Chains A and B, each alone.
Chain A
Amino acid sequence: MIVISTAAFLVCAAAVAVAGWLIGRRYAEASTTAMFDRLMSDRAVRLAVVVIWWWLGWHFLAGQTL
């Protein structure tokens, strides 16, 4: 099961990279940076994204949650 689960997450990571590459080839403006610039231009969304980012560090480094 560990192989299947690892493969599933790796496929998702690869799919994100491939999607970015394919769409970026067709649309010059469609970069990951430009997408996040748009996403984070809303303060409420920026707060949500930063809290999720912070929690990842908390989860793996600090919290007694693993």
Chain B
Amino acid sequence: MRSHERSDRRRRRADADTAVRVGWPVWCWLFVLVAIGVVQIVRLQWFDAAVFFVAAFGAGVIGRRPAAASAPARTVSLLVLSTMSAVLGAVLCFLPRHSAAMQAIVIAAGAVAVWLAVFNRAVAHPDRSTGFGPGIRRLALAWAVIVIIGCVWELVQFILGLLHPDAAWFALSDLLNPLAATVPGKIVLVVAWLAGGVWLLRRGGRR
């Protein structure tokens, strides 16, 4: 047996030893990503579908890797994150919706956000323990049920729109798009989106 084959086998064995079983919460989120990807295929949005399938694959791979023993040495502070978001928001407000420049900048912002999320670089308190007591469980269950009901309604509107295109069915996008087409609506959308992103990127902690 050649030396590189032996080292490959050793590396695979070491990877198997350190791999973590993917828990059911991660499986639920993988299902969500794949389900959204399937809906994008039905909508004939191939780029959007690819994003969700690649994200599902990436989340599956990450879910099998053990968590880092300690928080990263360098994290992005709230001030830096807020400043970056404010500059980005100002640029987005001036760019026409659905333009090539808007697409390029939103993709770049997404790449940075994914990097910050995967490498744990923007969490406010990365070493603080996160609880999962009865209150959090009930809140999570209540939110999950309500969000699933909302998603089912969205899906029903979308499917009815496909089956009966002449009738008026209103998915959330159909309701919000006329508002986003106005200047104040677009500003509110950009601010809400970026504020939500900053808030999400700072969430996390230790299990």
Chain A residues near B (Cβ < 8 Å): 1-2, 5-6, 8-9, 12, 15-16, 19-20, 23-24, 26-30, 32-66
Contacts of A19 in B (CB 8 A): 139, 142-143, 146
Q: Which of chain B's residues have a CB closer than 8 A to the CB of A44?
A: 22, 26, 29-30, 59-60, 62-63
Cα–Cα, bound, A15→B153 (Å): 15
* A6, B175: Cβ atoms closer than 8 Å: yes
By Cβ-Cβ distance, the 5 closest A-B pairs, closest first, are A27-B135, A30-B135, A44-B63, A5-B170, A12-B150
Task: Determine how close the nearest CB of chain A comes to the CB of B140; give it in whole angstroms.
Answer: 6
Q: Mark B22-37, 1 if CB is under 8 A from A, else 0.
A: 1101100110110010
Q: Specify which chain A residues have a CB less than 8 angstroms from the CB of B117 in the assembled complex.
A: 43, 46-47, 50
* Residue in contact with A63 in the complex, picked from B98, B123, B190, B197, CB distance below 8 Å: B98
Kindly list chain A residues whose C-beta atoms are within 8 Å of the C-beta of B206.
Answer: 41
Inter-chain CA distance A30–B92, complex, in Å, is 35
Q: Is the interface of A mostly helix, strand, loop or mixed?
A: helix
The complex places the Cα of A20 from the Cα of B52 at a distance, in Å, of 29
Size category, B interface:
35 or more
Asked if B45 is an interface residue, CB under 8 A from chain A, the answer is yes
Interface pair B140/A35, CB less than 8 Å apart: yes
How many Å from the CB of A25 to the closest CB on chain B? 10
Q: Is the CB of A61 within 8 A of B63?
A: no
B88 to chain A, nearest CB (A): 10
State A64–B103 Cα separation when bound (angstroms). Answer: 9
Interface string of B192-207 (1 = CB under 8 A from A): 0100110111011111
